[in-house]
């Protein structure tokens, strides 16, 4: 497994503490589109909703290790670079446990045309651009736009960094 991950200048990665940490990755392809995957309808949290790649930080993991593992597990790709910090937030699903989420714009290596999805957890994937952001709304709660918002931020930051 790859061990070198480039971290862009100015990014300060938080130290994992006692909180329940979650990492998220906005992954772009060579056409400036962001990767999204639909959660399976049987998932307890956000069933049948579009999501970015990510998940819980396991005990003893760093933020980088968790990003690397989640990207590999959910897509088969390898994390190569953390390009930009997209912010953090605290959220609480119906289990009542607060999650502290940190999200990043990242680059990966691998066949972007053929992600190795965890088909028991995700039912489809899409590459989206700004005109597609409305598709990412939660079908169970159309006012829940977090995924669309974080993808929009990732697309915007990528444009800023390239231009």
Q: Residue 74's domain is classified under what CATH number?
A: 3.90.79.10
Does residue 73 lie within any of the structural domains? yes
Does residue 1 lie within any of the structural domains? no
Does residue 157 lie within any of the structural domains? yes
Helix residue ranges, H only, the chain: 63-75, 146-162
Does residue 10 lie within any of the structural domains? yes
Answer for the pair 24, 101: CB distance below 8 angstroms, yes or no: yes
User: What is the pTM for the complete model shown?
Assistant: 0.93
pLDDT of residue 2: 47
Strands 53-56 and 78-91: unpaired
Q: What is d(CA 21, CA 37) in angstroms, rounded to the nearest whole number?
A: 21
Q: What is d(CA 120, CA 40) in angstroms, rounded to the nearest whole number?
A: 7
Answer for the pair 2, 79: CB distance below 8 angstroms, yes or no: yes
pLDDT of residue 143: 75
Answer for the pair 86, 26: CB distance below 8 angstroms, yes or no: yes
Answer for the pair 112, 29: CB distance below 8 angstroms, yes or no: yes
Does residue 140 lie within any of the structural domains? yes
What string of pLDDT tens digits covers the 163 residues of the chain? 446 999 999 999 999 999 999 999 999 999 999 999 999 999 988 888 999 999 999 999 999 999 999 999 999 999 999 999 999 999 888 788 889 999 999 999 999 999 999 999 999 999 999 999 998 987 777 777 889 999 999 999 999 998 7
Range of the domain at 66: 6-162
Helix residue ranges, H only, 2-144: 63-75
Count of the separate structural domains present in the chain: 1
Residue that is written with structure tokens 């489809």 in the block: 124
Answer for the pair 66, 58: CB distance below 8 angstroms, yes or no: yes
């Amino acid at each position: 497994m790859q061990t070198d991950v480039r971290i862009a200048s100015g990014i300060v990665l938080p130290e994992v503490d006692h909180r329940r940490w979650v990492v998220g990755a906005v992954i772009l392809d060579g056409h400036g589109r962001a990767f999204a995957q639909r959660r399976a309808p049987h998932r307890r949290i956000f069933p049948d909703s579009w999501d970015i790649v990510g998940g819980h930080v396991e005990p003893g993991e760093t933020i980088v290790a968790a990003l690397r593992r989640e990207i590999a597990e959910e897509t088969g790709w390898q994390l190569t670079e953390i390009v930009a910090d997209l912010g953090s937030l605290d959220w609480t699903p119906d289990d009542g446990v607060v999650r502290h989420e940190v999200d990043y714009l990242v680059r990966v290596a691998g066949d972007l045309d053929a992600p190795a999805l965890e088909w028991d957890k995700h039912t489809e994937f899409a590459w989206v651009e700004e005109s597609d952001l409305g598709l990412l709304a939660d079908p169970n709660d159309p006012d829940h736009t977090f995924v669309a918002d974080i993808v929009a931020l990732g697309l915007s930051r990528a444009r800023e960094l390239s231009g």
